[in-house]
Amino acid sequence: MTAIPLASDHAGLPLKLALKDALQGEGHVVLDLGTHTGDSVDYPDFAAQVAAALTAGQAPFGILVCGTGIGMAIAANRHPGIRAAVLHNSTEARLTRAHNNANIACFGARTIGIETARDALRVFLSTPYEGGRHDRRLAKIDPPGAK
């Protein structure tokens, strides 16, 4: 089974730990890339680690958590082949997978509750990409050769 890389900054640590527990409880292997303490850290460093795991082919999906999810999504999306989306509910999770083939779920620890985040993550991981008409659109976003 492929491990799911997961990381957060200091603001996202409590939600990251809750999501990690939920994933492990469902039988997933989790690669916890930090942070591991409440000390202040820079979120782009952790977004880069998760993005690198995906672009290296180590995992199909990743998870990032910060205060709002926005900083992590911006930082992750700077990496070729990454399509990170901030999720607030399971509808967004389903549509971003089905239509955008998103590969990193970003959550805001200050903007979403634990149960809602768990539900959204479960839907994100289980929703297939629809392809078809969406392929043309993604080709306009992804650089040539991106996964």
Q: How confident is the model at residue 141 (pLDDT cuts 50, 70, 90)?
A: confident
> 110-114, 116-120, 142-146: lowest mean pLDDT where?
142-146
State pLDDT tens for residues 21-76: 999 999 999 999 999 999 999 999 999 999 999 999 999 999 999 999 999 999 99
pLDDT surpasses 90 at 116? yes
Q: Mean pLDDT, to the nearest integer, of 99-122?
A: 98
At 147 the pLDDT is: 54
Q: What is the dihedral of CA 55, 1, 100, 130, to 10 degrees?
A: 130
Q: Please state the separation of Cα 70 from the chain's center in Å.
A: 11
* Residues classed as catalytic: 66, 99
CA distance 5 to 139: 25
Q: What is the mean pLDDT of the chain?
A: 95
pLDDT surpasses 60 at 146? no
CA distance 7 to 144: 27
